[in-house]
Amino acid sequence: MINWLRIALGALLFIVNTVVHVVVLFIAALLKAILRVTALQRICDRMLIAVAESWIDVNTWMIRTLTRTRMVVESSADFSYTGHYLVLANHQSWVDIPILQATFNRRIPFLRFFLKSQLKWVPLLGLAWWALDFPFMKRYSREKLVKHPELAGRDLETTRRACEKFRGIPISVLIFAEGTRFTTFKQELQRSPHRHLLKPKAGGVAFVLEAMGDALHSIIDVTIVYPHGKPTFADLFANRIPEVHIYARRRAIPPELTRGDYQNDSAARELAAQWINGVWNEKDDLLTRALEVEQRQPEGERRMADGGR
């Protein structure tokens, strides 16, 4: 009963926080659309980001106040709020997003990420993502692409348009290179060579680097580890996530990936695939070491850390 009350309270506060901030976001977005003076539109852009960061601040406060979840950030890199970054992360749960936002909010530029086109219809959040210029990607089935090959380049064009818009502002572009959340079923279906990850997809990373490589300062490689198992949103507000580890390191941008032509050059595709697979091998090793440390912990201590589950 207590867990359900926690979940209900967390959901209610999240909805109220979202409604309040989305209303302000929409007003700022309307002003930006109405005003035709570039300087005033830039002021509106800063207003939009300020409102989004405030929304994240409140969500983070709720996590830290209503739960005992401990976010352990391990990083020796210095980041800048005025930087230009490509953020690469593994993806295990919808909880990844509030965890990443809590970790990086106001430390680096506001995180934007590519979304499936269906998500634009999510109540309130879809409107917020639109106002904040999140790019929406439309996925097509293999069968549809065979019948309509002209659709194959649509995602690339969407990526290029978004990157052109982002070039002139401090930006953090977040990519979940696996393309979907990790499950053991997907892992087996893919025959993934990794112990704790799905196969990474090089296309999105390559397209962003080709379009924005000279405008980006570096790559932030993030590995998210849930020592007590992959959680759900309900687990978060039910106080069933004792600990999250976030490992962040800075990587130099491989210059050869910024000069390639991923769509038309097989050599460029192979080079991008080799690079992202190398990154994912290191990430998988890090996940393995982190989880082994947890497993070596005495059973009694694990039970105490896990709230007796």
Which is more confidently placed, 153 or 197? 197
Which is more confidently placed, 250 or 156? 250
pLDDT at 302: 44
Mean pLDDT to the nearest integer, 247-262: 90
Mean pLDDT to the nearest integer, 236-250: 93
Place of tokens 């909010």: 105
Q: What CATH number is attached to the domain comprising 227?
A: 3.40.1130
pLDDT at 6: 82
pLDDT at 308: 34
Mean pLDDT to the nearest integer, 128-151: 72
| Single-letter code of the amino acid located at 38 | T
Q: What is the DSSP string of 141-185?
A: -HHHHHH-GGGGGHHHHHHHHHHHHHTTS-EEEEEETTSS---HH
Q: Is residue 253 situated within a structural domain? A: yes
Q: Is residue 171 situated within a structural domain? A: yes
Q: How far apart are CA 128 and CA 87, in angstroms?
A: 21
| 144-187 residue pLDDT tens | 656 766 666 666 676 777 777 787 788 899 999 998 999 999 99
CA-based max dimension of the chain = 64
Average pLDDT, the chain: 86
Residue percentage of the chain with pLDDT more than 70: 88
pLDDT at 204: 86
- Provide the domain count of the chain: 1
Q: Is residue 139 situated within a structural domain? A: yes
Structural domain of 208 = 70-305
| 2, pLDDT greater than 80 | no
Q: Is residue 37 situated within a structural domain? A: no
Q: Is residue 45 situated within a structural domain? A: no
pTM reported for the whole predicted model: 0.86
| 287, pLDDT greater than 90 | yes
| 36-53 residue pLDDT tens | 788 888 899 899 999 999
Mean pLDDT to the nearest integer, 57-63: 95
pLDDT at 114: 82
Residue 187 near residue 68 (C-beta atoms within 8 A):
no
Q: Is residue 144 situated within a structural domain? A: yes
Q: Is residue 22 situated within a structural domain? A: no
Highest mean pLDDT among 33-37, 133-137, 237-241, 277-281: 277-281
What b/e readout covers 270-280, taking b as 16+ CB neighbours within 10 angstroms?
A: ebbbebbeebb
pLDDT at 284: 97
Grade residue 92 by pLDDT with cuts at 50, 70 and 90.
very high
Give which of 155, 271, 266, 274 is closest to 207, Cα–Cα.
155
Q: What is the DSSP string of 202-242?
A: HHHHHHHHHHHGGG--EEEEEEEE-TT----HHHHHTT---
